[in-house]
Structures are given as structure tokens and as C-alpha cells.
Amino acid sequence: KDWISFSHMSVDRSIFPFDSWFSCEHRALRLSRLELNDDSSRFPQGIYSVRKTIARFLSVARGVKCFPEQIVLGGGTQFLFYLLRHLFQENSLYAMENPGYRRMYESLKMESLRLKTIPLDNKGISIDLLKQMNPNVVYVTPSHQFPSGVVMPISRRIQLLNWAAEKDDRYIIEDDYDSEFKYESDTIPSLQGLDSYERVIYLGTFSKSLLPGLRISYMILPQQLLKRYREKCSFIMSTSNALGQLTLQQFIDSGEYRKHIKHMKQVYIERQKKLIETLKKRFDSAITMHGANAGLHFTAEFDTPRTIDEIAERAHAAKIELYNLKPYCLEDHYLYSKPAFILGFANLSVDKIEEGVERLYHAIFE
């Protein structure tokens, strides 16, 4: 039998419009010879016309307000975050959500920056604990908290923005990852779009909506940090490849991007509904699900005497690709009362769901 994937790490390449991507790349090659053979030193922030396209798309899709000048394109969110850290005061205190994005936690620790982790409540990062810890920079994933899936409601967003506005050296890094996919409520505007004190740095990526291998991510700097960026970092060449950028621009400007997102939402909503239904039917009250009304994964706790490691082993033996929440509990303290897992459906076709849930049940209970 072949593998069945509950992974949140991958996207379903079978629905990526390779043909239209290819014709966009062909057009980019034909139309943008100048930008292509120009060394990217002239575009440390990425090609201007591409940034214009992204600024336009973000204002419609996420209510983000920015000029193309404020956008910095980079080859991955981690690299952009690395650049960003050089714009803040030397001994800034950083804070991030726990459970949270382990790769961000590790990269902050690698730089031995002062770092605190802040637990979540049912509205996202705990504002009371944030006030207690009083960091300078807080990294949040409000659209679909990673990995728990909590969607930060507008009330908490306002509280967060008011907190940041109280002091000059406070910033919010909004990682809007996985924001393209909302199922119940309509899209809640980004923190960046609600921010009137220039406290929010917006991080975005095309890894989820297009392909992770593209390595086209971007950050939007408020004016004051943009000034500091230009003073300190303008010698750094763009790390996002020009042909990828120009193809992306064709793909967005031609309307293909909007069409693709719409198609993916239809495919994913159907999978998500079917997966939740099948899990409820099979596991009944032994499963508790969280964070399912957005993104391409949700989390589930299972009421079982088995340990996470035993389940992970049996899942592997049953050929299901499954990630548990232990690595995302930062500071190595497990935050859940029962074995908890990430259930992704981006790479789980509808016809595999019954079999996948059956194998999962076997790994957890039989």
C-alpha cells in the first residue's frame, strides 16, 4: 500500500497550474530581458514592478496598506526575519507564541537574542502575559496561529495594536502565513492594515498559495524601519531569484493567481469537510479538534492511553505521514494533556481520506 499524508509541510502539486505558470515564465523571459540580465544589486529589495504587483494584490486580498518601496522580497521568511533583527535596538527582548513556529524559535536562539515565549488562549497570544513580559518585539501568526490554528479575532488584534502603540520601541511582526484560506468567516483584515502607528512589520510568502520551492517571501517595513533598512542593509543583494519574481508578476497580473486561489479553496474546503466528518464518525468523543476554520491543517488531541511516540511509530508502520505537536512546544515543555497531532489535508485527496482515517485509528487505538 502507498503512503497517505497528513503533512502540513507540503502542497498538492497535482492542482498547481504548471502549464499557465510555464507560459507566464515564457512571457517573463521574452518581455523582461533587461531586468533579467541586470545584476540584482539594483534591486536589493526585489524588482520594483514585481513589488508594485504584490502591493496591489495585498491591498485587495489582505487590506494591507503599503507602497512598493516598503516591500523587501527575499528567499524565505527566515532570511527576511534575519535581516529584520538588525533593524531593532541592540538588546531588544523578543517574544513569540508557544506552541509556535520552531524554526523561528531556533533561529532567534541561534543568534542568542533575548527571547521569551508566550502561551496562547482561545484568541491567540495571551495579551495579559504579553503585558507582563513586556517585550520590545513580538512575533505572531494571527491569521491561523501556527501550529494550533487559532484565528485571532478582531478584538485581540486591536488590543495587540494598542499595546504596541504605547511605547516607541515596540513592534509586532505579523507572519501572515496560511492566510489565503479561510472557510467560515470572511477574511479578517491584517494587523498591518489596522495599524495606524507604524508598529507592524508584515511577513508574507507564496510557499503555501503557490509552491514552497519558489522561495519568494516578502516583508513590508513601516517607513521608519525602511529608513533604517536603507541605511544599514542596502548593500545586501536580493536573495529572491529574478525569473521567479517576474514569472510571479505575470501570474498575478494575468489573473491566474486569483483563479488558482479560488480553485484551491474549493478543493481544500471539500477535503477539510470530508476529513472532519470522517474523523468524528470514526473517533467520536475520543478526538478534540482545534483551529479548523482556516488554513490547510488543524490540530487534534486524542483521548488514548498510548503515548505520542508509540502512535508516531505505529503511524509510520501504517504508512501515514503524521506530525505531532511536541516539536512546536517550545522550551521543551509539552503543552497538551493528551497526544496531539497536526492534521494537514493539502496533500490528502478526498478518495484517500477514509483509508487515511482508518489507518490513523489503528495507530491510535487498535
Ligand X SMILES: Cc1ncc(COP(=O)(O)O)c(CN[C@H](CF)CCC(=O)O)c1O
Residue ranges in contact with ligand X by CB under 6 A = 8-9, 76-78, 101-103, 141, 146, 175, 177, 205, 207, 212, 217
Q: What is the secondary structure of 8-60 as a DSSP string?
A: SS---GGGS-HHHHHHHHHHHHHH-HHHHHS-GGG-TT--HHHHHHHHHHHHH
Nearest approach, Cβ of residue 175 and ligand X (Å):
5
- Of the pair 165, 211, the CB lying nearest ligand X is at 211
Name the residue nearer to ligand X (CB basis): 108 or 283.
Answer: 108
Which CB atom, from 176 or from 195, has the smaller least distance to ligand X?
176
CB of 366 to ligand X, least distance (A): 28
- Asked whether 360 and 344 are in contact (CB, 8 A), the reply is no
Q: Whose Cβ is closer to ligand X: residue 102's or residue 228's?
A: 102
Pairing of strands 320-321, 297-302: unpaired
Q: How far is the CB of 204 from ligand X (least distance, A)?
A: 8
Between residues 193 and 344, which has the closer beta carbon with respect to ligand X? 344
CB of 296 to ligand X, least distance (A): 9
| Closest among 214, 239, 220, 199 to 79, alpha carbons compared | 239
Going along the chain, which residue ranges are E strands?
4-5, 71-74, 93-98, 114-121, 124-125, 137-140, 171-175, 200-205, 217-220, 287-290, 297-302, 320-321, 323-324, 340-344
Minimum CB separation from ligand X for residue 173, in Å? Answer: 10
Retrieve residue 74's grid coordinates: 527575499
